[in-house]
């Protein structure tokens, strides 16, 4: 009996240590890094995504790769998320193209079964549309073009809670959208998060997420 009591006590200590280690990863604002700085644990892809110094996720397209319909080459979280805030920085080269996907029900059909906020080299473009940087693909263009020139770091803060989606690009709110009243009204309320492999160089850093809890309605 003492042997089992000791074993149970040890397991409690181990679980408590793991819980503490996980909580230490969360910063004071409640955000947790989505990459561990070493490898792609927690993610799935057939593309050539790698982690570089500084916990930077970058894509190195391989010879012969081109186009955006190689969906298995996109990098996607293994788990699904519902309501959240994603805070990240990205950088592209001239004519660069990528995208932030979320609430993706099927990683092999992200365009049809998910939502994408566009990343594109459209700095200086007047009257940007849904397919330009900051736009929600097939839905709504940014209210203002806040994309920086190619080669510079940009910052997205994407908040998705229920049917309300907001996107802040470089400090300016450019999207404030009710999903249930848009072209995305039939998209899932929960799904994978990922980044598009357009076979063009792209860098992501400081990728953090804060999951939002559902607000409980008080009973009378």
- pTM metric for this prediction: 0.87
CA 178 centroid distance within chain: 19
pLDDT over 70, % of the chain:
86
Structure tokens at 62: 């391989």
Beta bridge partner(s), residue 171: none
All structural domains of the chain with their residue ranges: 28-211
3-class state of residue 71 by DSSP: helix
Please write the tens of the pLDDT for every residue from 52-100.
999 999 999 999 999 999 999 999 999 999 999 999 999 999 999 999 9
Domain 28-211 fold is: Jelly Rolls (2.60.120)
């Amino acid at each position: 009996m003492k042997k089992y009591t000791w074993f149970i006590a040890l397991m409690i200590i181990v679980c408590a240590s793991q819980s503490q280690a996980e909580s230490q990863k969360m910063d004071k604002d409640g955000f947790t890094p989505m990459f561990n700085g070493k490898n792609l644990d927690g993610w799935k892809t057939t593309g050539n995504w790698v982690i570089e110094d500084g916990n930077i996720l970058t894509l190195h397209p391989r010879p012969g790769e081109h186009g955006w319909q190689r969906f298995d080459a996109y990098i996607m979280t293994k788990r699904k998320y519902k309501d959240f805030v994603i805070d990240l920085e990205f950088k592209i080269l001239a004519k660069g193209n990528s995208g932030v996907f979320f609430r993706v029900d099927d990683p092999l059909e992200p365009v049809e079964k998910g939502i994408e906020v566009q990343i594109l080299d459209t700095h200086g473009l007047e009257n940007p549309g849904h397919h330009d940087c900051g736009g929600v693909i097939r839905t709504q263009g940014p209210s203002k073009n806040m994309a920086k020139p190619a080669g510079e770091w940009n910052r997205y803060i994407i908040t998705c809670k229920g049917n309300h989606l907001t996107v802040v690009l470089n400090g300016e709110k450019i999207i404030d959208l009710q999903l249930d009243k848009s072209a995305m009204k039939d998209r899932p309320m929960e799904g994978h998060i990922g980044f598009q492999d357009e076979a063009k160089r792209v860098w992501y850093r400081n990728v953090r997420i804060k999951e939002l809890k559902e607000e409980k309605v008080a009973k009378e």
